[in-house]
Amino acid sequence: MQPVASLVKISIPSYLSNLPIPDSFGGWFRLGFKDWLALVPPTALAAGVGYTVYRAYCPKARPSCSGKLNQVIQLSNPKVVDTIDVEDISGKAAFCRCWKSKNWPYCDGSHAAHNKETGDNVGPVIVKKAK
């Protein structure tokens, strides 16, 4: 615990007190190259923390903030239901679970773009005919 206490009580305050932050607005124009270079790490840290908080707590920053999975298929229906006879499947069929397929209810690989964009891991349901 001593190294953490030393970091919080001594090192960080000492580092921050030595930063070349001017007392007036005009002082920013008098900073030299080394002064600006010294301000890069704390500025990058503040920007990173700010961006992380923004992405975590701002609903508009999330990729799909509407909550609806299906944003394309049969939106006028209160519930989307498709029936497919297993006997009609020749060898195997892949069915969409991401609601992004242009060939609904069959998978067309649209989940790959969805997964890359959102970090999801959804894939199709594959139905095979028994041998």
Q: Give the residue numbers annotated as catalytic, written as ranges.
A: 79
Contacts of 115 (CB under 8 A, 6+ apart): 121, 122
- The tokens for 49 are 């923390």
Instruction: Give the span between the Cα atoms of 99 and 68, in whole angstroms.
Output: 10
> What CA–CA distance (Å, rounded) separates 17 from 14?
5
Nearest C-alpha neighbor of 97 from the set 89, 108, 86, 88: 108
Q: Are 37 and 92 in contact (CB under 8 A)?
A: no
